[in-house]
């Protein structure tokens, strides 16, 4: 089926979502085709031609896209997490807000002039790729491997670069305004070794000795004196034989302590999570120690309830403590318990829970996990103006737990919502659900 007939069919059946997951499409000519919102996860598209195709909001997670022509295609909002893109041509493609976390581009991928504004490239392997003139503004490059890449003329303004590696990258003409947590050592300037100038030595230090510097007559040598005879030493008594020492027991071998690999990189895991925001009035005005103590209190509660092996990944932003759970129902139950824990120490709070994408950074040394707040999808950053003790969710999260009436009661309400960090003046009314756990 050619592009014309395919696109006509898509137009006549707008509600049908093509499912091409795990399909073998090697070498297929899909140029110009409308594949918007198609499911193509784990598909094999090696050497396929997708130039000019519409792949907006498609799911291509884990797909094989090696040697593929994607030049000029539209991929806004698509999911390519974990995809293999070796030697892929993405020149001029529209890839805004694409999820490329953990994707592998190999050394010959072409992304010249590609629009990756707001894209999630956390942990992506881009070493040696060509990104000259690409737009990476506000993208998430946390933990990305950008070694030996061509970033000349690229726009990285506002990008999150925590843990990214830029060794050997060409950054000539690159816009680097407002980078997030970029270590200066990652952008070392070229240097030239300058030989040290020879140390100045005064001329008199090189003057040859003159004859008149020596004395006219040398003093006579003293007469040699015969040495007095030394008394012969008395014979020493023969030492008594010492008993042979008993052999000491060999020490038991001690296992060597594990040594952290100094070259180990942080690992990054991106995925979909239940994202909770525990909003505490005046939290942002507290001292850093007070903030740490409150987060530590909640983490201790997690381990007390779930066990030592459990550690909910948390971070802070503004007046909120933010964390992620795998299960929406679990996040709602814990949010209610967090509110009660804080109430017992006279700290008032309310909570919002969303379903969205986020990235977790793990330290290879101690295994400590940290939520990369800037990686949270925009919709999951919305905060309500709630009342103390409330738990509020929007439809996206509600649809995932609506059938669990044995655990929760839901009450449809209208609350004002705003973006995290905005003032209350910018809040707008939205229909949402008040969640009350069933006792």
- In the block, which residue shows the tokens 């995932």? 400
pLDDT tens, position by position, 234-283: 666 565 666 566 666 565 554 454 444 544 556 777 788 899 999 998 89
Q: Which residues contact 172 (CB under 8 A, 6 or more apart)?
A: 152, 153
pLDDT value at residue 233: 57
- CATH fold for domain 267-418+427-437: Alpha-Beta Plaits (3.30.70)
User: What is the model's pLDDT at position 75?
Assistant: 92
Three-state DSSP at 305 gives helix
Q: What is the mean pLDDT of residues 367-396?
A: 86
Question: What is residue 29's three-state secondary structure?
Answer: strand
Kind of pairing, strands 382-384 and 320-325?
Answer: unpaired
Mean pLDDT score, 199-206? 41
pLDDT at position 239 is 59
Distances (CA, A) of 206 to 4, 29, 199, 212: 93, 84, 14, 17
Residue with the two structure tokens 């020492």: 245
Question: Which pTM was predicted?
Answer: 0.47
Nearest of 245, 265, 247 to residue 102 by alpha carbon: 265
288-306 helix and 328-343 helix, angle to the nearest 10 degrees: 120
Q: What stretches of 261-407 adopt beta strand conformation (E)? A: 267-280, 314-317, 320-325, 349-362, 369-372, 382-384, 391-393
Query: Domain locations in the chain?
Result: 17-181, 267-418+427-437
pLDDT tens digits along 132-191? 889 999 999 988 899 999 998 899 999 998 888 899 999 988 888 877 644 433 333 333
HEC secondary structure over 147-201:
CCCECCCCECCCCECCCCECCCCECCCCECCCCECCCHHHHCCCCCCCCCCCCCC
Domain pair 17-181 / 267-418+427-437, same fold:
no
**Alpha-carbon distance 56 to 9, whole Å?**
17
pLDDT of 193 = 34
Question: Which has the closest alpha carbon to 124: 152, 157, 90?
Answer: 90
Cβ neighbours, 10 Å, residue 373 = 17
Instruction: Say what percent of the chain tops pLDDT 90.
Output: 30
Tokens of 184: 């200066």
Q: Does domain 17-181 have CATH number 2.160.20.80?
A: yes
278-287 burial: b if 16+ Cβ within 10 Å, else e: bbbeebeebe
Distance (Å, rounded) from C-alpha 280 to C-alpha 277? Answer: 9
Could you tell me which of 147, 143, 136, 148 has the C-alpha nearest to residue 176? 136
Sign of CA dihedral 39, 42, 48, 50: positive
């Amino acid at each position: 089926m050619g592009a014309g007939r395919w696109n006509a069919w898509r137009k006549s059946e707008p509600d049908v979502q093509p499912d091409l997951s795990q399909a073998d499409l090697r070498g297929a000519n899909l140029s110009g085709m409308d594949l918007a919102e198609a499911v193509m996860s784990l598909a094999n598209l090696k050497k396929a031609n997708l130039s000019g195709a519409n792949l907006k909001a498609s799911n291509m997670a884990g797909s094989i896209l090696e040697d593929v022509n994607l030049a000029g295609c539209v991929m806004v909002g698509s999911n390519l997490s974990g995809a293999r893109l070796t030697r892929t041509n993405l020149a001029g493609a529209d890839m805004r807000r694409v999820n490329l976390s953990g994707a592998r581009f190999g050394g010959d991928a072409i992304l010249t002039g590609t629009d990756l504004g707001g894209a999630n490239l956390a942990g992506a392997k881009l070493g040696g790729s060509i990104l000259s003139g690409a737009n990476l503004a506000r993208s998430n490059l946390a933990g990305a491997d950008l070694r030996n890449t061509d970033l000349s003329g690229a726009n990285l303004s506002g990008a999150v670069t925590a843990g990214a590696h830029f060794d050997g990258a060409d950054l000539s003409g690159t816009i680097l305004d407002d980078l997030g947590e970029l270590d200066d050592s990652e952008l070392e300037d070229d240097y030239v070794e300058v030989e040290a100038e020879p140390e100045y030595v005064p001329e008199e230090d090189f003057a040859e000795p003159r004859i008149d510097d020596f004395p006219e007559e040398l003093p006579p040598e003293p007469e040699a004196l015969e040495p007095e005879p030394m008394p012969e030493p008395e014979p020493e008594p023969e030492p008594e034989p010492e008993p042979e020492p008993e052999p000491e027991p060999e020490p038991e071998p001690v296992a060597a302590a594990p040594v952290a690999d100094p070259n180990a990189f942080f690992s990054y895991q991106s995925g979909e999570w239940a994202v909770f925001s525990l909003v505490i009035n005046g939290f942002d005005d507290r001292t850093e120690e007070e903030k740490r103590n409150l987060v530590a209190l909640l983490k201790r509660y997690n381990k007390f309830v779930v066990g030592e092996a459990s550690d909910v990944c948390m971070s802070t932003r503004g007046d909120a403590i933010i964390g992620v759970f795998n299960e929406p129902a679990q996040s709602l139950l814990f949010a209610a318990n967090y509110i009660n824990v804080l109430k017992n120490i006279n700290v008032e709070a309310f909570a919002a829970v969303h379903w969205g994408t986020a990235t977790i950074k793990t330290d290879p040394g101690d295994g400590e996990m940290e939520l990369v707040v800037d990686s949270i999808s925009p919709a999951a950053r919305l905060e309500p103006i709630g009342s103390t003790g409330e738990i509020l969710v929007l439809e996206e999260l509600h649809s995932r737990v609506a059938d669990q009436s044995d655990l929760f009661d839901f009450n449809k309400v209208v609350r004002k919502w705003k973006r995290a960090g905005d003032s209350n003046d910018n809040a707008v009314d939205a229909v949402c659900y008040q969640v009350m756990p069933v006792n």
